């Protein structure tokens, strides 16, 4: 690196910028407060999250517990691939699921080229945007988000947060406890492009399909009401 | 990137004559504003959000030295190498050095207008590296040997037929039809997937840098930037020094403006934050990561009256709403950044001499300022640049003379009103029966496209004076 470039740029900025102490600057930023957040499309949190998932062109399913989740995952992969195989990250929550009951054969680790389906257990679901969030690590190799044809994401209802500000609250806890994850990935839909004549096509580089399974205490009819609101 | 802004008028004339491209521009100009409006509808606080982000951006720029230093410290703590570059040459050679240190031959590159600005691809290619753009739009124009026509959607000027022919001639895959858009996307996906898996270095841009934790933010729909950031063993993030924001929540709050204004979504498919190299627990990711932070006259802009231009978040909304951009397209502007934001940035980042036509590529309609999520007074800045052009005698002599005459007349209101009254009466006399003129002396360009409405009586000031007299008379009568 050219140290002269660094020192010249910083000297220039020092010359231009208002001089103030770090405390003053931090206080000034705090005084600006937080940003307004868009209103959710429904008052119930699961329903609002599902509306946004569907608007993001994801498909969605709701289950009450791990046994139902395994059955739903098994049904999804069999109906799309006539197979019971999938790849999942080394997430202890996934390892503890009753896979045999549904005849699903997961391989835990990083997706290899040619494997069509990956399953992730999201750290968070963000109601504001209908995004799921994973951070990279043993539980979530980045390849599992990016390389499969279909990406299935399991979200626990207790991990839903209303907006991005709350999402950062949870990420900061992780950074404080375990250090900063290498990558934090918010995913809100299948990979898409409109670069040819503005026509929307899915599967530009990453998954062609994105399937979200919401697990936990989801109110009955939440998914059907969400479908009505999202117009799908 | 080579600049052709000095021939803007010729470029624009040529663009207008290409009727197929002009038709496509018309379609885009019709639908792009609609998707933005739909995304904002129902978000009652959009304007308050705009004001909030403006205050945060102003605060960040007021203390850029502090926040840039904080970012650098955090990024180094996270295991990154942080480099600074005063200009394009320094950025390009820093990136090449890193590639050569790793004996890299193949580079996978995400969309980055900053590296378009520095001409990084050509520089790396001249050193023997294979550089592949991986954003579909950028890939298309790279294969065609063209430059981006839009900062968000770089290949929208090309038709599907043109892209089909391009792929059939460039990809050695034997005879095939590629009848649908989805087939074209699929073919590019397969070719680029292969490149991703082989590339030794990934290069991406950043939509924001976060001072408090040293993360960079990357926003894409395709996921190509994420593949660049995760698959090759070395990652280089190239961006400019003004992208720093204090807090993580500032970056995602800005995102609420950016994505709605750019593509009409609430969030892009992929919003990613990268802190540095692979951790012990990671099963993938780069083993070495670099930031190259470019000034390239940003500090000059910060010190100037145009500093608000650094608040631009590169959404492209001003392009999509500009009647000039919609008519002539992005290539006419002759450099990286087109439309209203480009007509300001290009003179500031290159020179006013080289790009003196651009600030005049404006009808002062004000739509760009209305839709700008960063609330930048774009028409005012364009006017100030025109003023500078006039002072520096960069504009044509007859324009300056015309302005001088107008300015003199404006300072003599009685004469001004008398002359405009005379002109309006004359036009009324000759045109009121027909209602409009199909030809006018010295306005052939205008009337070649549309009729000039004939004045229907007196000037505004004459009517206003008459009204005042009438009111005074009525008051006297009472």
**Which CATH number belongs to the domain containing residue A209 in this structure?**
3.40.50.10420
Q: How far is B203 from chain A (nearest CA, A)?
A: 16
Classify the complex by whether its ipTM is higher than 0.90, answering yes or no.
yes
User: Is A22 a member of any domain?
Assistant: no
pLDDT above 80: residue A3: no
Q: Is B226 left (phi over 0), alpha (psi -120 to 50) or beta?
A: alpha
Which residue of B lies nearest to A202 if distances are taken between CA atoms?
Answer: B182
Q: Give mean pLDDT, residues B420-431.
A: 89
CB A216 within 8 Å of CB A51? no
Residues in chain A: 232
pLDDT in the model for residue A2: 58
Domain that holds residue A197: 41-230
* Structure tokens, B474: 């009525």
Q: How far is A66 from chain B (nearest CA, A)?
A: 26
User: Is A109 a member of any domain?
Assistant: yes
Dist. CA B421–CA B436, nearest whole Å: 18
CB A52 within 8 Å of CB A128? yes
pLDDT 10s digits, B77-105: 999 999 999 999 999 999 999 999 999 99
Q: What residues of A are in contact with residue B85 (Cβ under 8 Å)?
A: 2, 5
C-alpha distances (whole Å) from A84 to each of A28, A93, A118, B222 are 56, 19, 12, 28
pLDDT 10s digits, B304-337: 999 999 999 999 999 999 999 999 999 999 999 9
Contact (CB<8Å) B189/A203 = yes
How many separate domains does chain A show?
Answer: 1
Going by C-alpha positions, the residue among B311, B155, B134, B130 that lies closest to residue B205 is B134
- What's the whole-number average pLDDT of chain A? 96
Which residue of B lies nearest to A57 if distances are taken between CA atoms?
Answer: B269
Neighbours of B392 (CB within 10 A): 11
The fold adopted by the segment(s) B43-300 is Rossmann fold (3.40.50)
Q: Give mean pLDDT, residues B413-436.
A: 89
Contact (CB<8Å) A184/B163 = no
Contact (CB<8Å) A110/B283 = yes
* Structure tokens, A51: 């509306």
Task: For residue B249, give the nearest of A56, A164, A199 by CB distance.
Answer: A164
User: Is A219 a member of any domain?
Assistant: yes
Which residue of A lies nearest to B94 if distances are taken between CA atoms?
Answer: A1
Sequence spans of domains, chain B: 43-300, 412-477
The radius of gyration computed from the CA coordinates of chain A, to the nearest angstrom, equals: 21
Contact (CB<8Å) A180/B222 = no
* Structure tokens, B312: 């631009």
Going by C-alpha positions, the residue among A208, A185, A204, A186 that lies closest to residue A194 is A204
Contact (CB<8Å) B248/A168 = yes
User: Is A121 a member of any domain?
Assistant: yes
Q: How far is A164 from chain B (nearest CA, A)?
A: 7
Which band of pLDDT confidence, cut at 50, 70 and 90, is reported for residue B432?
confident
> Is A168 buried (19+), middle (13-18) or exposed (0-12) by CB count in 10 A?
buried
pLDDT in the model for residue B456: 80
Q: How far is B75 from chain A (nearest CA, A)?
A: 11
Phi, psi for residue B235 in degrees, rounded to 5: -120, 130
Q: How far is B258 from chain A (nearest CA, A)?
A: 14
What share of residues in chain A are helix, strand, coil (percent, to 5)? 40, 20, 40
User: Is A29 a member of any domain?
Assistant: no
- What's the whole-number average pLDDT of chain B? 95
pLDDT above 70: residue A117: yes
pLDDT above 90: residue B291: yes
Contact (CB<8Å) B59/A205 = no
Q: What residues of A are in contact with residue B270 (Cβ under 8 Å)?
A: 185-188, 191, 206
Phi, psi for residue B109 in degrees, rounded to 5: -120, 130
pLDDT above 90: residue B461: no
pLDDT 10s digits, B342-389: 999 999 999 999 999 999 999 999 999 999 999 999 999 999 999 999
State what percent of residues in chain B have pLDDT above 90. 86
pLDDT in the model for residue A179: 95
Q: What residues of B are in contact with residue A17 (Cβ under 8 Å)?
A: 62-66
Which band of pLDDT confidence, cut at 50, 70 and 90, is reported for residue B230?
very high
């Amino acid at each position: 690196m050219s140290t002269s470039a660094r020192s010249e740029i910083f000297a220039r900025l020092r010359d231009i910028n208002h001089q103030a102490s770090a405390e003053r600057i931090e206080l000034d930023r705090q005084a600006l407060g937080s940003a307004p957040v868009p209103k959710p499309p429904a008052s119930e949190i699961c329903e609002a999250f599902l509306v946004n998932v569907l608007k993001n062109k994801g498909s969605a399913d709701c289950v009450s517990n791990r046994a139902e989740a395994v059955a739903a995952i098994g049904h999804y992969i069999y109906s799309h691939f006539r197979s019971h195989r999938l790849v999942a990250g080394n997430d202890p929550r996934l390892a503890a699921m009753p896979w045999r009951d549904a005849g699903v054969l997961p391989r835990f680790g990083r997706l290899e080229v040619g494997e069509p389906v990956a399953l992730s257990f999201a750290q968070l679901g963000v109601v504001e945007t209908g995004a799921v969030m994973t951070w990279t690590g043993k539980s979530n190799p980045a390849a599992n988000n990016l390389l499969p044809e279909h990406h299935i994401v399991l979200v626990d209802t207790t991990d839903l947060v209303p907006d991005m500000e709350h999402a950062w609250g949870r990420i900061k806890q992780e950074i404080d406890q375990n250090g900063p994850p290498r990558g934090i990935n918010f995913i809100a839909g299948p990979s898409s492009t409109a670069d040819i004549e503005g026509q929307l096509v899915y599967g530009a580089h990453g998954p062609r399909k994105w399937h979200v399974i919401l697990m936990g205490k989801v109110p009955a009819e939440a998914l059907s009401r969400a479908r009505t609101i999202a117009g799908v | 990137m080579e600049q052709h802004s000095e021939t803007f008028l010729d470029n624009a004339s040529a663009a207008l004559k290409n009727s197929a491209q002009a038709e496509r521009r018309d379609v885009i100009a019709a639908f792009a504003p609609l998707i933005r409006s739909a995304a904002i509808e129902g978000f009652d606080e959009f304007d308050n959000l705009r004001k909030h982000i403006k205050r945060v951006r102003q605060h960040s720029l007021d203390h850029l030295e502090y926040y840039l230093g904080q970012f650098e410290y955090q990024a180094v703590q996270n295991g990154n190498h942080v480099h600074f570059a005063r200009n394009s040459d320094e950025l390009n050679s820093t990136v090449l050095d890193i590639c050569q240190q790793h004996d890299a031959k193949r580079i996978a590159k995400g969309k980055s207008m900053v590296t378009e600005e520095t001409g990084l691809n050509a520089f790396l290619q001249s050193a023997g590296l294979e550089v592949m753009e991986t954003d579909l739009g950028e890939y298309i124009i790279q294969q065609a040997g063209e430059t981006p026509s839009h900062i968000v959607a770089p290949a929208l000027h090309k038709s599907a037929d043109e892209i089909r022919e391009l792929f059939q001639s460039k990809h050695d895959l034997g005879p095939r039809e590629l009848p649908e858009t989805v087939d074209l996307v699929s073919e590019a996906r397969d070719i680029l997937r292969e490149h991703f898996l082989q590339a030794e270095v990934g290069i991406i841009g950043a939509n924001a840098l976060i001072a408090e934790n040293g993360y960079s933010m990357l926003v894409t729909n395709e996921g190509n930037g994420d593949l660049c950031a995760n698959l090759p063993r070395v990652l280089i993030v190239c961006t400019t020094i003004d992208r720093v924001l204090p807090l993580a929540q500032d970056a995602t709050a800005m995102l609420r403006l950016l994505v709605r204004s750019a593509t009409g979504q609430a969030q892009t498919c992929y919003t990613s934050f990268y802190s540095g190299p692979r951790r012990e627990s990671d099963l993938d990711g780069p083993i070495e990561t670099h930031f190259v932070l470019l000034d390239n006259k940003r500090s000059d802009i910060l010190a100037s009256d145009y500093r608000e231009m650094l608040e631009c978040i590169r959404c492209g909304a001003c392009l999509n709403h500009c009647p000039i951009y919609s008519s002539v397209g992005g290539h006419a502007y002759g450099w990286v950044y087109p439309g209203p934001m480009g007509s300001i940035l290009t003179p500031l980042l290159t020179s006013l001499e080289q790009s003196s036509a651009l600030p005049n590529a404006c009808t002062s309609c004000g739509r760009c300022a209305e839709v700008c999520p960063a609330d930048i007074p774009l028409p005012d800045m364009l006017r100030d640049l025109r003023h500078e052009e006039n002072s520096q005698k960069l504009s044509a002599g007859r324009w300056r003379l015309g302005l001088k005459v107008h300015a003199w007349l404006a300072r003599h209101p009685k004469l001004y009103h008398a002359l405009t009254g005379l002109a309006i009466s004359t036009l009324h006399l000759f045109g009121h029966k027909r209602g409009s003129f199909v030809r006018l002396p010295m306005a052939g360009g205008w009337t070649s496209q549309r009729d000039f409405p004939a004045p229907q009586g007196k000037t505004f000031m004459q009517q206003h004076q008459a009204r005042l007299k009438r009111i005074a008379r009525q008051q006297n009568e009472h």
